[in-house]
Amino acid sequence: MAMLLKYRESTSKSSPVTMTKPPPEPSIGIPSTSSAGKLNILRRATSNLHLIVPEPLPPPSANKKNVIGQQKHTVEIRSGGVIAFRVPLYQKMMVGGLSGVIGLTTVFPVDLIKTRLQILSSGSSSTIGISSVCRDVLTKHGVSGFYRGLGPTAVMVAPEKAIKLGVNDYLRDVFCNFDRTKETIPQQVAAGALTGVVQVAVTNPMEIVKIRLQSADSALTPFMAVRELGLRGLYTGSAVTMMRDVPYNIIFFLTYIQLKRALTSPEGEVSRQRILGSGVAAGMVAAFVGTPMDVVKSRIQMRNSPYTNGALDCARRLYAEGGSSIFFRGAVPRMAVQGPLYGIALLLFELQSQYLSSSAASR
């Protein structure tokens, strides 16, 4: 026992127990100072640092609201990007009117020839033709005669095309609840028919004034034509105009929509050339089918018309004059007018709608 005590006493003297300090923390460049000073330095160093949290992607078919002026736009967004855009009605009509005026200006001389062919008497059928009409216009009015009535007609065509293109596009949106992927053919037919009804109610006065200007050999201004017709006369032939325009719109829009859809790639892309071609083809088909009623309408609405007992009486008298072929007089010029006119108008309408969509979606 005594030996054990001596061992412990000797070891305590030779190797005393010492407390070791922990290793110093690595320096971060902060000078030695008080705790409060260190805290202020850290705050200044991190004052310009911001935590960036990425926004989550919107779920499929989510809607994003954009505002241009006071009009709200709805953009449908999917993983591939913006796929649908609700252009407001007033913008659709503005685009439609501008597109129609440009298209009309391009083909107006052909439209004048068409009208002249349809109102000529059948008594000189052997000499009636495009070349004879052109010679007659050149002889009486010169080259400018082919643009006779262009200014007033362009002013009158703007609202007509605004209704035809703008209202139809809007009605298609309404009928399919703004989801064109679920649009059906009956909805397209209904939109075309209703567009025709609205169009006739608004544009029949413009139609009859245009025909009076194009068919007159003597000087005639739009104001003179309106004064001759009177308020009631501005709606002369409105029934036959509706009989022409309702089927025309159904055939035209249905053909255009189906052709464009058939030419659209699986990715949803369609070239400008295909849009133009679809519009030209649709306009020509609808123009050919609607030519008989257009002939009857032109005869009823022309200046000093002898056909005052309605469309049926006019059709009977025309058949007695020239047989069934008379109802297709002017069909080729009419197709040559309507095809390019609506091809150009629809192309411009599509491009301007896309521009409005992309412009609003980027805001």
Assigned CATH class of 92-353 = mainly alpha
What is the reported pLDDT for 352?
79
Question: Could you identify the residue written with the tokens 């034509």?
Answer: 225
What phi and psi values does residue 219 have, to the nearest 5 degrees? -60, 130
Beta strand segments in the chain, E: 62-68, 71-78, 81-85
What is the reported pLDDT for 43?
64
What is the reported pLDDT for 114?
85
Query: Could you report the per-residue pLDDT of 89-101, keeping only the tens digit for each?
Result: 888 888 889 888 9
- Other C-beta atoms within 10 Å of 56: how many? 6
Give the largest CA-CA distance in the chain. Answer: 156
| Residue 303: both structure tokens together | 């200046």
Percent of the chain with pLDDT over 70: 72
Contacts of residue 235, Cβ cutoff 8 Å, sequence gap at least 6: 204, 205
CA gap 170, 191 in Å, rounded: 9
What is the reported pLDDT for 55?
54
Average pLDDT over residues 187-195: 96
First-to-last CA distance in the chain? 95
The answer to which of 8-22, 143-157, 211-225, 331-345 has the lowest mean pLDDT is 8-22
Spell out the domain ranges in the chain: 92-353
Q: How many CA atoms lie within 13 A of 16 on its CB side?
A: 3
What is the reported pLDDT for 188?
95
Query: Could you report the per-residue pLDDT of 288-347, keeping only the tens digit for each?
Result: 999 999 999 989 988 888 998 989 999 999 999 889 999 998 899 889 889 999 999 899
| Residue 280: both structure tokens together | 């030209």
| Residue 164: both structure tokens together | 């035809």
Check whether 252 has a pLDDT greater than 90: yes
Question: Could you identify the residue written with the tokens 């736009």?
Answer: 73
Check whether 28 has a pLDDT greater than 80: no
